[in-house]
Amino acid sequence: MEIKKVAVMGAGAMGHGIAQLAAIAGFDVTMRDISEEFVQGGMKNIRWSVGKFIEKGRMSPSEGEKTLKRIKPLVSLKEAVEGADFVIEAVPEKLKLKQQIFKEIDSLAPPHAILATNTSALPVTEIAAATNRPEKVIGMHFFNPPALMRLVEIVMGEKTSENTCNVTLDLGKKFGKEPVLCRKDVPGFIANRITIPGTNLVAWMVYKGEYTVEEVDAAAMHKAGMPMGIFALLDFTGLDIAYHVLKFMEEREPNFKVAPLINEKMEKGEIGVKAGKGFYTYPEKGKWAMPQISKEKAEKFDPMTPTYVNVNMAADLIRRNIATPEDIDKSL
């Protein structure tokens, strides 16, 4: 299957980044959102990002101009998917919303078009069930920011065909990404499934008063050499992303419970940098600043604690033939 036109649903942080990737790769792109304000906001962000690429020598001014010309911002869903060979959805992480979008896309997109969801946690199979082409629905989970992060998870739903999978893997490579394959639609897929449960365990320990947030992060940075602490990383990526993965694991897997510490933060809307406050406080919404944590607090916590959980989760994926050791290594 030859892909010429890519349609992206959503012009937010992920949507505009994916649209930019597709345009850089040489595809004709439509980027659709529910209002002119949103699509123009997405284009503004793309222009800024392309400008940075030119400034850093990653593309020439002429290449930047061609990239921008390949993207058509739209509000009309019908016009956006008309003639599309591949559609990538990047709307908020709400199952009913995604199902509604996929139902509409399914009725408007060409019969041959593959429909991909950028969800980081929701079940691909249940999203696909809203369409009459579940064999052509697949997960294509990019990491934020899409223009810079090399990894993309390709996730097969229960009815996803091998051909759909192969076309999507190939597209990921054409986007300049490192695709990894998750052969079963499990909560969290590969990267989040492996890493987030270990973080949840540590959140339980903090909730029970065994450690403080600062003690955990100080140990992660000053004893394990991590670039940022466990809780600082949650703030940076967005606590809401981890929460969605954890909630689906809680709902679908026995003996798993989201740490109350995480639930409390979600209830308060303190989801990290994007909110201006998470486990730490930031200068303003969306502005990152590395939390200053004393090295003296590093001695109490063993930073290997979440790693033990991560290793067990990775081994389970291999045992169940969900992911290969090679793809797991690429994901972490």
Going by pLDDT thresholds of 50, 70 and 90, the confidence category of residue 252 is confident
Reduce the secondary structure of 231-283 to three states and give it as a string.
HHHHHHHCHHHHHHHHHHHHHHCCCCCCCHHHHHHHHHCCCEHHHCECCCECC
Distance CA 209, CA 84 (A): 53
Please, which pLDDT band fits residue 157 given cuts at 50, 70 and 90?
very high
- Is the CA virtual torsion 243, 245, 250, 256 positive or negative? negative
pLDDT tens readout for residues 61-87: 999 999 999 999 999 999 999 999 999
pLDDT at 115 > cutoff 90: yes
pLDDT given at position 144: 82
The number of residues in the chain equals 332
Share of the chain above pLDDT 70, in %: 100
Evaluate if residue 318 carries a pLDDT over 80.
yes
CB 180 within 8 A of CB 143: no
Q: Region 231-254: what's the mean pLDDT?
A: 88
What pLDDT sits at residue 172?
97
Q: Are 15 and 90 in contact (CB under 8 A)?
A: yes
Q: What is the pTM of this model?
A: 0.88
Task: Give the confidence band of 248 by pLDDT, cuts at 50, 70, 90.
Answer: confident
Q: Are 135 and 106 within 8 A, CB to CB? A: no
According to the model, what pLDDT value does residue 167 have?
A: 98
Residue 326: pLDDT band by 50, 70, 90 thresholds?
A: very high
Q: Is the pLDDT of residue 241 over 90?
A: no
- Contacts made by residues 286-293, CB under 8 angstroms, sequence distance 24+: 288/236, 290/228, 290/232, 291/217, 291/229, 291/232, 293/214, 293/217, 293/218, 293/221, 293/229
Contacts of 15 (CB under 8 A, 6+ apart): 8, 9, 31, 33, 42, 90, 91, 118
Nearest to 293 by CA among 233, 229, 238: 229
Band of the pLDDT at 253, cuts 50, 70, 90? confident
Q: What is the mean pLDDT of the chain?
A: 95
Token pair 């792109």: residue? 29
Top pLDDT among 30 and 249 is at: 30
pLDDT in the model for residue 245 = 83
- Checking if the pLDDT of 251 tops 90, the result is no
Using CB atoms within 10 A of its CB, is residue 201 exposed (0-12), middle (13-18) or buried (19+)? middle
Lowest mean pLDDT of 68-77, 138-147, 213-222, name the range: 138-147
pLDDT digits (tens, 9 = 90+) for 5-17: 999 999 998 999 9
Name the band, by pLDDT with cuts 50, 70 and 90, for residue 171: very high
pLDDT band at 116 (very low <50, low <70, confident <90, very high): very high
Q: CA nearest 172: which of 193, 191, 155, 197?
A: 155
Q: Which residues contact 27 (CB under 8 A, 6 or more apart)?
A: 3, 4, 5, 6, 70
**pLDDT at position 228 over 80:** yes
**Annotated catalytic sites, by residue?**
120, 141, 153, 192
Q: With a cut of 90, say whether residue 311 has pLDDT above it.
A: yes
CA distance 184 to 328: 14
pLDDT computed for residue 255 by the predictor: 80
